Amino acid sequence: MALKNWSPKRMFDFIKYKYVSICISLALIVFGFSYTYAVHGGFANSLDFNGGLRTVVEFDQNMDRKKLENYFAENKIEAVLLLLDKEKHHYQIDIGLGSVDSILLKYREKNGLKPTDKVELSGIDALISILIADFRIDKSNILSANQVGAIVGGELSSTGTTLLGLTMAIILAYISFRFQFKFALGAILALTHDLILTVAFIGFFQIKPSVPIIAALLTLLGYSINDTIVVFDRIRENSAGNLNQTFGQTINSAINQTLGRTFNTSLRL
């Protein structure tokens, strides 16, 4: 039997444990956000949203990730490394704006300047200069170099928020039209719960916010609302076919009948 058509032989009383489920969800959300701010001091910074420096460098064959990590750690530069091409030793180096001062300090040291001397050089140019000097590479080894400003990051954040808001509005209108307005409010509440809980986990695990993360959140909302509509549709069918059930019993039957599809949807994610 296909998983999407599977339903338990014994009806599980989900409605009976609704308050327990609510308490568990609220506890996870509160714990996730509390841990994020108490332990990590907030959400992880991302180059796409907070701005910073990004360069792609081709190193020689003796270079490895550990050497690069040690180099940046010794110079108090917070860098995120990504190996793009193992054979050609292409590394993408992302550095937050908070480390630009450390880069400029390193540049002054390399050029015999005092820490207080003014440097007429951008952060990305200073980074290129010290990489060429310290790793003895040619300028042609710098395959790309960009400085992402906070304005660009702000625009990405604003666009992501707008997309999420627009998605919620469309869902509200669609479910109100297909079912009832109270169903739409329930769906929005469920989606908001899914979104907030996911964001709490993002903060807990310090996952860096980015465009792919926004896309993943939208995908999550899409699968969630799809499953919600299936349950709502079954509730409507059961309400019309069995007038002896209470509304709670109708909801419980609908959830049990669509449980296989819910599992299938969750596994896809």
Q: What is the pLDDT of residues 165-221, one digit of tens each?
A: 888 888 889 888 888 888 888 888 999 999 999 999 999 999 988 778 888 888 888
Specify whether 158 is located in the same domain as 93.
Answer: no
Q: What is the pTM of this model?
A: 0.73
145: confidence class by pLDDT, cuts 50, 70, 90:
very high
pLDDT at 74 over 90: yes
Map residue 239 onto helix, strand or coil: helix
**Which amino acid type is present at position 87?**
E
Specify whether 57 is located in the same domain as 40.
Answer: no
Which residues form the domain of 258?
A: 3-44+152-268
Average pLDDT over residues 63-85: 92
Specify whether 157 is located in the same domain as 256.
Answer: yes
Q: Within 13 Å and on the Cβ side, how many CA atoms surround 186?
A: 12
Domain count, the chain: 2
Where a domain ends, among 127, 148, 169?
148
C-alpha separations of 257 from 8, 9, 10, 149, 222 in Å: 8, 10, 11, 51, 21
> 148 phi and psi, to 5 degrees?
-95, 120
Strand partners, 58: 90
Which pLDDT does position 151 carry in this prediction?
60
**Which amino acid type is present at position 88?**
K
* CATH number of the domain within which 112 lies: 3.30.70
